[in-house]
Amino acid sequence: MPSKALIQKVSSLSHKKFRDELGLFVAEGDKLVEELINSSFLVQHLFVTQSSALKDYNHPGKELVDEKDMKRLSRLKTPSPSLAIVKIPDQKLNTEALKHQLSIVLDGIQDPGNLGTIIRLADWFGINTVICSTDTVDCYNPKVVQATMGAITRVSIHYYSLTELLPALPHDIPIYGTFLNGSNIYSTTLSPYGMLVMGNEGNGISKEVETLIQHRLHIPPFVRNEKGSESLNAAIATAICCSEFRRR
């Protein structure tokens, strides 16, 4: 049976403050937890119930718990059969490597589901690096972790002040951003590498970051009058941009 202190620790990890202090985050669900165990991430504790596919897993931090205890540990309405406490990795950003790859830069994404979905689609499109502004939602927020569907083990995620990082990058890395005015992404020549900056859900790219963007892109809507939707969901816009960069 997990101690009261451990249950409190898991509970505290739903807050960024305690994740930062303890350097830990929580993941739930057999598929996600298995991906974490098989990745370079360090799983410190692994709680499994009898119904978990991981219950016979040979893991030093494993503890078999009953469903009542799992209910105490879990933050989900319907608890999963497994829950892991995982160490937040210490990932270094290699700015030289950015020269040869396409990377996603997020300027103030607020919705955990959007961030998780963007990490998942980055993985699908073979994008290894996602750089987030310091006001972007924390990628170790449980809702983000769940929405990545395991992609968080394969995409390295970094938090920086974008106004400090972007000017410090090697100068031959092109910086793209999407705006309401910009060149039509479908007909613009796109580099196979560079930084693709996507903005906040409501306000787009911030004024400060906008001045650092070299190539303004625009996803044209397909409406015949002004009555259509004004914008796309942030994750959807990111997907369309990545699809355009990658299909060429």
- Could you identify the residue written with the tokens 């999407």? 178
Q: Is 240 in the site for a copy of itself (CB under 8 A)?
A: yes
Cα separation, 170 vs 223, whole angstroms = 39
Q: Is 130 in the site for a copy of itself (CB under 8 A)?
A: no
Please report the DSSP string for 166-234 in residue order: HHHS-TTS-EEEEEEEEEETTTS---SSEEEEEEBTTTBS-HHHHTT-SEEEE-----SSTTS-S---H
Please name the amino acid found at residue 209.
V
Which of 40, 171, 207, 223 is the binder for a copy of itself (CB under 8 A)? 223
Site track 73-112 with a copy of itself (rule: CB under 8 A), x = hit: ----------------------------------------
Residues 181 and 217: their CA atoms lie apart, in Å, by 7
**Would you count residue 235 as binding a copy of itself (CB under 8 A)?**
yes
Contact yes or no for 108/209 (Cβ under 8 A):
no
Cβ 199 vs Cβ 177: under 8 Å: yes
Query: How many chain residues are in contact with a copy of itself, going by CB under 8 A?
Result: 32
Least Cβ distance, residue 141 to a copy of itself (angstroms): 16
By CB under 8 A, which span of 7-15, 72-80, 138-146, 234-242 interacts with a copy of itself?
234-242
Contact residues toward a copy of itself (CB under 8 A) are: 113, 117, 120-121, 123-126, 149-151, 154, 186, 219, 221-224, 227-229, 231-233, 235-236, 239-240, 243-244, 246-247
